[in-house]
Structure formats: C-alpha cells, structure tokens
C-alpha cells in the first residue's frame, strides 16, 4: 500500500472541492429537503440507477405518498406502476417493507442512528451515511465505488477489490467528513465523481485537482 494522505492533505483536497461545487453542483429535489424519509427513499431509488432517471419517479412517488404510513399501506401494484421506470423490479417491495418497519418500530420517523438505519430492509451503510449527512447534517462518512475511485486516483492509494470496505479508505472518508459543513463537502465529492472524475474518461482539462492528482501526474503523464 502506498503512503496514506495526511489530515492536512485531505483538508486541502476538501477545500478545493468545496470551492469547485459552488458553481458546479447538481440540482436534485432530494437535496433540497431535510426530511430523512424522502432522502432515504431517494437513495434507495438511486441504487444502480442514474439520478436523472430517478428524478421524475421520485416526484411522482411523493405526490402519491406523503408519509411512511401511506407507503406502508400502499397496494403493491400501485407501487409497481410508479417505480417500474427504474427497473430492478425485485427492489420494489423493499420500499413497502422499509416503510412498514419505520412505522411499526420507529413511530413513523427514520432513526438517527447509523447502525439502525443500515439495518432497515434494502438499506446499507452507504445509504445510512448519506441520510445522516443530508437530512441531519451529521459528520458521517460515505464510501461507495465512486468515492473509492476518486480517493484511489487522487491520493494514489491501493485498495482491495471491495475498496469500499477497506479500513484505510473509510479512515480517509471519516477525516473528509469531519468539517463544519459535512453535507456540502460530501455532495461535492459525489458531484465531482459524477462530472469530472468519471470511470472511463476523467475530465482532466476541467479538473481543479489535476495539478496535485497522483493519477494525472504519475499515471497519465508517464504514459505520454
């Protein structure tokens, strides 16, 4: 494993992304709410699905179902009709199941514990973290394949095949989220991964971090 970044290097990385996102952030309705249930449902919809595809389904879903109780009581055929455009039909029943648990076990409110949220049906550690970040503005870390890709490229770290489970990757994410505005910083990281540090053709010419990026300096330029 290569040298891990220092706290100051992670802070500098975050500072650049926070400036970049001021003019480049993506605008989605689930980012404009502090309702944890709406954020939770949005993130469940976003699993393996592009955000632009999710947006109209999200809006239609909440125009029909205002509360967890209404989703819990919903007819599965009606849910299927609304959620069908997202594909992955196997997950449709999860929306009803997670709502039922929230109603029965938590009185209709999404819990504020990472451990409790991550144990909800169809929900894992990443979704738990993003719900706590967006809805509660807590200093919670998030790691998915996109975050791993950015960290791996920029800091030049090595990762396992399941990089999102690597302790050193999670440690970097924890330090990154340990700031005054964790919600803004984390969304900046996700937007950067989606718009600039893309899987196949990263936008080096538009990247505000290229001059200090390990991947660009040592891997790309070395091959020129």
Give catalytic residue positions.
43, 126, 144
Q: In whole angstroms, what is the distance from residue 211 CA to residue 155 CA?
A: 12
The predicted structure's pLDDT at residue 2: 67
Tokens representing 173?
Answer: 């994410």
pTM confidence score? 0.90
| Cβ atoms 151, 10 nearer than 8 A | no
Give per-residue pLDDT as tens, 138-153.
999 999 999 999 999 9
Q: In whole angstroms, what is the distance from residue 95 CA to residue 89 CA?
A: 11
The predicted structure's pLDDT at residue 3: 79
Give per-residue pLDDT as tens, 78-89.
999 999 999 877
Q: In whole angstroms, what is the distance from residue 111 CA to residue 158 CA?
A: 35
Q: Say yes or no to pLDDT of 107 above 70.
A: yes
Mean pLDDT of the chain: 93
On the CB side of 95, CA atoms within 13 Å amount to 33
Q: Comparing 6-10, 39-43, 118-122, which segment has the lowest mean pLDDT?
A: 118-122
Domains (range + CATH), the chain: 7-27+140-223 (1.10.1670.10), 35-136 (1.10.340.30)
Quick one: which of 78, 70, 115, 71 has its CA closest to 94? 71
**Share of residues in the chain with pLDDT > 70 (%):** 96
Q: Say yes or no to pLDDT of 109 above 70.
A: yes
Q: Say yes or no to pLDDT of 90 above 90.
A: no
């Amino acid at each position: 494993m290569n040298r891990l970044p220092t706290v100051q290097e992670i802070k500098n990385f975050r500072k650049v992304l926070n400036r970049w996102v001021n003019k480049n952030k993506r605008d989605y309705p689930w980012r404009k709410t502090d309702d944890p249930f709406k954020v939770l449902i949005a993130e469940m919809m976003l699993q393996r699905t592009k955000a632009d595809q999710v947006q109209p389904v999200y809006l239609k879903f909440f125009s029909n179902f205002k509360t967890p109780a209404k989703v819990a009581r919903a007819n599965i055929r009606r849910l299927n009709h609304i959620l069908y455009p997202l594909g992955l039909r196997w997950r449709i029943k999860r929306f009803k199941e997670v709502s039922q648990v929230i109603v029965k076990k938590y009185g209709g409110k999404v819990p504020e514990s990472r451990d409790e949220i991550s144990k909800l049906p169809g929900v894992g550690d990443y979704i738990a973290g993003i719900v706590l970040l967006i809805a509660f503005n807590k200093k919670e870390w998030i790691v998915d394949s996109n975050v791993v890709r950015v960290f791996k490229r920029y800091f030049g770290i090595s990762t396992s095949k399941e990089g999102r489970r690597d302790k050193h990757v999670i440690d970097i994410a924890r330090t990154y989220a340990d700031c005054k505005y964790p919600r803004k910083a984390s969304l900046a990281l996700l937007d950067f991964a989606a718009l600039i540090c893309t899987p196949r053709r990263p936008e080096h010419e538009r990247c505000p971090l290229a001059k200090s990026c390990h991947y660009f300096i040592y891997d790309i330029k070395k091959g020129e």
